[in-house]
Amino acid sequence: MPVSREYVVKRFLLLVFVVLGVLAITFVMTRIIPARPELLWAGPHATEEQLKRAREVLHLNDPIYVQLYYYLSDFFRGDWGVSWRTRSPVLNDLLTALPATLELVITAFLLASIVGIPLGIYSALRYGRFSDQVVRFMTILGASTPVFWIALILQTMLGVWTGLLPAGKRVDDYLAYVTGFKPVTGFYVLDSLTQGNLPVLLDVLKHLLLPAFVLSIYPLSLSSRMSRSLMIEVLNENHVRSLEVWGIPQRKIVFKYALRNVMVPVIASLGLSLGYTLVGAFMVELVFVWPGLGYYAGMALLSYDYPAIIGVVILVALFYSIINLVVDLIHVWLDPRVRL
Amino acid sequence: MSEESLLNISNLTIHYHTVEGVIKAVRNVSLNVSRGESLCIVGESGSGKSTLGLAISLSLPRNAVVVEGSMVYEGVDLFKLSPPERQRYRGREISMIFQDPATTFNPLFTIGEHLVDILRHHFGVSMDEAVARAIELLRKVQLSDQDRILRAYPHELSGGMLQRAAIATALSTNPKVLIADEPTTMLDVTTQSQILELINTLKQEFGLTLLLITHNLGIANEICNRTVVMYAGALIEEGPTDEILLNPLHPYTAKLIKAVPTITKEQGRLSYIPGMLPDLRNPPAGCPFAERCEFATRYCNSSSIKRVQVSPGRRVACILHGAEA
């Protein structure tokens, strides 16, 4: 086994420290913004007395490190605070929003891998020809266009002007109601499948298509460009030439041998771009009113909802760190030269 | 040595298309290879000897173009074949080993995966049969602990072991011709002679026709009875190796022999050939060596110098030896 147990333990410890560090920084940053969250907490018609009470309840009169202490001691008991906007526990809010985001991100990601990598390899094999140029142009456009801009344009064109696809949300509420659709896991595709609810499944997929496509554009372009340039590079390497000389057909050299050399770095960078995709998801969710983490975070930011903001950031940091670890472990598994 | 011709190359010209321009890597090379002989192709870096090797093994890079010439192997002009027909010759008839054993194998696959895949592809044998044959091949290249080698990744083996494994792989297809492109250059000196000896032994055992590409005339003398010397993409001298070494006709060959360091000779400084190879994007019309040659005459630069036969089996492209200008 090329991965030592100490390494994994070390990485997990590191992960804990990273998340704690992110937590502390976010906490301090939210507290030094010159805002008056007690106004929000106490409501628009609060008296001076109520505001004072609100400041006490929220520990806003204490120094920041004391506030951090209060927060951390609650945090480790599973109490991530109560959202000042929704008035429900942040952890509950997050766990409700998480499946929506994951469904979006995973779909976008599958789309990016399944389309992006073959597209890049096709492009590499057509090196210099017209189809290669088209793919290169499209992917450089895709990698450099802001995701929220594409989201708005496509939403306007496909959702508003032509009405071909829903302009937002995850499912038609009326349809879900009349067919008795119940979100159990929060992954609507999965839920409608397990409940055998075909109309809702189709509707969910229709809702998912546009935001997932928009979100996939960046990782798709990235993986396509990477697999293209890597394939071109690998095909010029000596070991490809020796297999050719020894009589292995080109097709097999490309799809059995060179493909693995391409996949190792592509998987690593795709894994890391999952983090960016999550950030992209925040924009896409706001545009498409997708009730996920991004939408939640956006609303929280607009309303100085400190506990909610910190909760989202911690979740994202956790997500990022775990992905990093998984990517490294996959790398070891794919490349016999790497030992950790 | 039988005199039957196995491979006949005539007027071969190969260009590389690069961003810097068209490089004329091999220019008008004609060469006859007899069945079962050992032929050395000698020249310095950039002389076109590796390109010639890749052309013979039908594995030129994508940016190389055979502009002119034919390569008749057992009566068939290989350059006239369609790609699928050509595939039948790759490995199966003509195989090759390379300079750098560390990059010969794909780093993400074991030696066994390469070897077994090639055996199964060429002979359609079962997995077990392929493994058995692979072990036998590794034994033939004098690698012990064959099971471990089959399971090893390239980075886990030494250069010498990898070159042996490469030889085993190249011979796994039972080729008639083996091209060895500087097979010992990247190895340390003690391993070098072992590998050369191994190649020589296997040549006899497999009845191979050997084309050894090298810049070292000493190596040529150890293995090959015949040698051709290349310079700037052109074949400038050809003949029995011992004759060339004793009595080089082309001034370039003479300089090249002088440049091989020996321990028996007392030599203050290593000798070298002043000057550089001509720019192969725009090679000179006449003798390519004229610019560096101390015997150069005003006729050398004029027009192409043809190779002439000086004695049986001995040809040279030099005006000093009666080549026509």
Those residues whose C-beta lies under 8 Å from the C-beta of residue A269, and which sit 6 or more positions away, are A222, A223, A226
Note whether A62 contacts B: Cβ–Cβ < 8 A: no
Note whether B57 contacts A: Cβ–Cβ < 8 A: yes
Counting residues of chain B whose pLDDT is more than 90, the rounded percentage is: 59
This prediction has a pTM of: 0.85
Q: Do A238 and B98 touch (CB under 8 A)?
A: yes
Chain-centroid distance, C-alpha A131? 31
pLDDT in tens, A143-197: 899 988 999 999 999 988 988 888 888 888 888 888 888 888 889 888 888 988 8
User: What's the gap in Å between the CA of A178 and the closest CA on chain B?
Assistant: 55
How many other β-carbons are positioned within 10 Å of the β-carbon of residue A285?
26
Q: Which residue in B108, B153, B170 is closest to A246 by CB distance? A: B170
Structure tokens at A288: 């498409």
B108 vs A contacts (CB less than 8 Å) = 257, 260-261, 264, 334-336
ipTM: 0.89
pLDDT in tens, B82-136: 988 999 999 999 999 999 999 999 999 999 999 999 999 999 999 999 999 999 9
A90-290: CATH number: 1.10.3720
Q: Where are the domains of chain A?
A: 90-290
B104 vs A contacts (CB less than 8 Å) = 238-239, 242
**Residue B134 pLDDT:** 96
Those residues whose C-beta lies under 8 Å from the C-beta of residue B290, and which sit 6 or more positions away, are B284, B296, B300, B301
Distance CA B188, CA B190 (A): 6
Note whether B91 contacts A: Cβ–Cβ < 8 A: yes
**Residue B1 pLDDT:** 42
pLDDT in tens, A115-146: 999 999 999 999 989 999 999 999 999 989 99
Note whether B35 contacts A: Cβ–Cβ < 8 A: no
B53 vs A contacts (CB less than 8 Å) = none
pLDDT (tens digit, 0 to 9) for every residue of chain A, 340 residues total?
567 888 888 888 988 899 889 988 988 888 887 777 777 777 778 888 888 888 888 888 888 888 888 888 888 888 888 888 888 999 999 999 999 999 999 999 999 999 999 999 999 999 989 999 999 999 999 989 998 899 999 999 998 898 888 888 888 888 888 888 888 888 988 888 898 888 889 999 999 999 999 999 999 999 999 999 999 999 999 999 999 999 999 999 999 999 999 999 998 888 888 888 888 888 899 999 999 999 999 999 888 888 898 899 988 888 888 888 888 888 888 888 887 7
Confirm if A35 and A301 have CB atoms less than 8 A apart.
no
pLDDT in tens, B151-201: 999 999 999 999 999 999 999 999 999 999 999 888 888 899 899 999 999
pLDDT in tens, A61-76: 888 888 888 888 888 8
